[in-house]
Structure 1
Amino acid sequence: MTRGWLIAKSVLVKKVGDGQNTRFWLDCWIGDMPLCKKFPRLATLEVDIGCMVADRWTPRGWTWQWRRTFKGGVSYSQLESMVHLLQSFSCSQKTDVWHWNLEEDEEFMVGGTRKMIDSEVLRGSLTKTRWNKWVPSKVNIFVWRLRLGRIPTKMKLRDRGIDVATLGRCCARFVEWNRRRWSICS
């Protein structure tokens, strides 16, 4: 699993209000995965896989639109499980919103995101991440990668077992200059 998924799943949570902006089968709005993955047989039987929560919810309960009727088997078992999962849910008058779990007031803040990156992604780093808003993003990212030692220099490539002899002479001169510089400093 990539870090991007880890961050998105742990930080962003969909809160359903009236259900007008949340897809019933395709969005992750109840439980830890979309209903189409949790109940795949029912999702294939659904007439409109892109329907919204509001399309399936009425004040009297849930309504379904299946391609065919079913009376038992895996489909019926999945329907029972889904109804059990949905029994505590009801729509409200509020609109659907995304909540950000890093801040107490559940509002997105750059500072909270930076703290999360420092604590979760950059655990080995002793200093905090500082982004300079006056320079382009690619410069911030380059400096960040440089501080982490993630720039693929010739020395780093050689340390990782890559044949650096095939690289150009310009790189070789830089490596030699860098080696002399480090030996003087240490």
Structure 2
Amino acid sequence: MANRIAGVLGDLVHEVQSAFIADRQILDGSLILNEVLQWCKDKKKHALVFKVDFEKAPTDEFQFFKGLKQGDPLFPFLFILIMESLHLSFDRVVKAGMFKGIQLSSSVNISHMFCANDAVFVGKWKGINFLEYMSIKVGNGNSTSFWVVNWIGGTSLKLQFPRLYALENNKLVIVGTKLTQQSLDCSFRREPRGGIELEQFINLKALVQNVILAPMEDRWKWDLESSGDFSVASIRKRIDDITLPEVNSKSRWIKYVPIKVNVHAWKVKTDALPSRFNISRRGIVINSIMCEICHNGVETVTHLFFSCCLVREVTRLICRWWDMPFEEFVSYEDWLEWILRLRLPAKNKMMFEGVFFVLWWHVRAFRNKLLFDVKDPVKAGFFDEVVSMSFYWCRYKCKATFSWID
């Protein structure tokens, strides 16, 4: 089996993989990476190089019943085929423009390379400096530069007080030495004069006067967490704040319904669904842009989920079911304003909102069945499907025991 796979493996996987494949050298990836780094140095290009090493030690979430032990002739081929799926996924990310590799020429772009269980991602430097979010927590001050390192005030002291840094004779003096001197200006080439120099000197003394050295080593701390410890969530939030566009209102997330239903509701809010009207706006010729359910209006996202006669009738039944006052909506904004006005306990309001998320999910499914199924769906059971699916999803995502009758 291993010999048969070895003969065709080169045709199955991309050239970014260089290990254990016929007519490819295991060191090709290392040599190419070395040449790319040298090219960046020669051209004075900034680049991001991120190496990933897979541990190969599955945790409890992954339960295996059959597999290959290390040393089996099929083992390296299995790893290569699995890594190919990672290549395909990352290649789609590159083609979508979400990650930019290193453009060596008009036809050569390198974004990632694999060698067995090792992966290296090479990309364009975005200018996000990891050290901006780190600072020093001073202990005895014996390993921290007083002027150069960010240890107090949010940035290095040489940037906060450039006039004083210019006066300093020992620009590499450490914190422990500087703070134990008789005066902060005793290592200056002259005393600070009036104006900006004197003002900066007064501010420097005020900044460090409360610093107390302790009998412990200096250590790094993570500024995005109050505890000082690094967390993936904090850096992920920071990256999102930098890269994602700002919106006027936050997305609404209902924990009692599946992720796919929440995402669908978000697309309803942002008008990101392929309604007939949206499809026609993209220049695609279709037979009709009228609503397939009611035939009384153009199939926009607003009409399909808020103005269509089927949706209004089911909304009326939902309000009767929950004993809520019924109102007609013409847009997502009208619906949201109505939801916010309702006086319900927080948990009940979230469930009630989740029922509408389920309604929109079923409206989309009902519309697709009308368009693509041979047999048309029945409108009579639509409300019952919304009720049963709402109960099913909420029942199994809510820890408490409840009944819709209650």
TM-score by length of 1: 0.52
1:13 aligns with 2:135: yes
Count of residue pairs brought into register by the alignment: 121
Separation (CA, whole Å) in 1 of partners of 2:199 and 2:235: 45
1:20 CA displacement = 1.0
Closer, same or farther: CA 86–101 of 1 in aligned 2, 3 Å: closer
Mark the CA change 1:107 to 1:81 in structure 2 (over 3 Å): closer, same or farther: closer
Residue 86 of structure 1: aligned partner: 208
Counterparts of 1:130-145 in structure 2, within 5 Å, are none
CA–CA separation in structure 2 for the residues paired with 1:70 and 1:40: 12
Q: Is the CA contact 2:224–2:235 (under 8 Å) kept in the aligned structure 1?
A: no
The 5-angstrom pairing of residues 90-105 of structure 1 reads: 90-101=212-223
- Say which structure, 1 or 2, has more relative contact order (CA 8 Å, 6+ apart): 1
- The match for 1:48 is 170
SS at match of 1:85: helix
- Shift in Å, 1:52: 0.6
**Structure number with larger C-alpha Rg:** 2
**One-letter amino acid of the structure 2 residue matched with residue 4 of structure 1:** I
State the one-letter code of the partner of 2:145.
R
Conserved? CA contact 1:102–1:112, under 8 Å: no
The CA distance in 2 between the partners of 1:62 and 1:72, in whole Å, is 16
Following superposition, the deviation at residue 90 of structure 1 comes to 1.7
Q: Is 2:155 the counterpart of 1:33?
A: yes
- Distance (whole Å) between structure 1 residues aligned to residue 148 and residue 138 of structure 2: 14
Quick one: distance in 2 between partners of 1:53 and 1:67?
19
Aligned pairs for 1:115-134 (under 5 A) are: 115-116=236-237, 119-120=240-241, 123=244
Question: Secondary structure at 1:14's aligned position in 2?
Answer: strand
Which SS does the other structure have where 2:213 is aligned?
coil
Distance in 1 of aligned mates of 2:187 and 2:145: 15
In structure 2, relative to structure 1, the CA distance for the partners of 1:104 and 1:40 (3 Å cut) is closer
**Structure-2 change in CA distance of 1:112 and 1:92 (3 Å):** same
| Residues 81-90 or 51-60, more deviating | 51-60
- 1:98/1:47 CA distance change after superposition, 3 Å: same
CA contact (8 A) 2:143 2:174 kept: yes
Q: Does structure 1 retain, via aligned residues, the 8 Å contact 2:148–2:157?
A: yes
Deviation at 1:15, TM superposition (A): 0.8
Distance verdict in 2 for CA 1:57–1:114, change over 3 Å: closer
- Compared CA separation, residues 108 and 60, structure 1 to 2 (3 A): same
Partner of 2:282: none
SS of the residue corresponding to residue 64 of structure 1 reads coil
Q: Does 1:4 align with 2:128?
A: yes
Unmatched segments (≥5 aa) in structure 1: 125-186
Percent identity between matched residues is 27
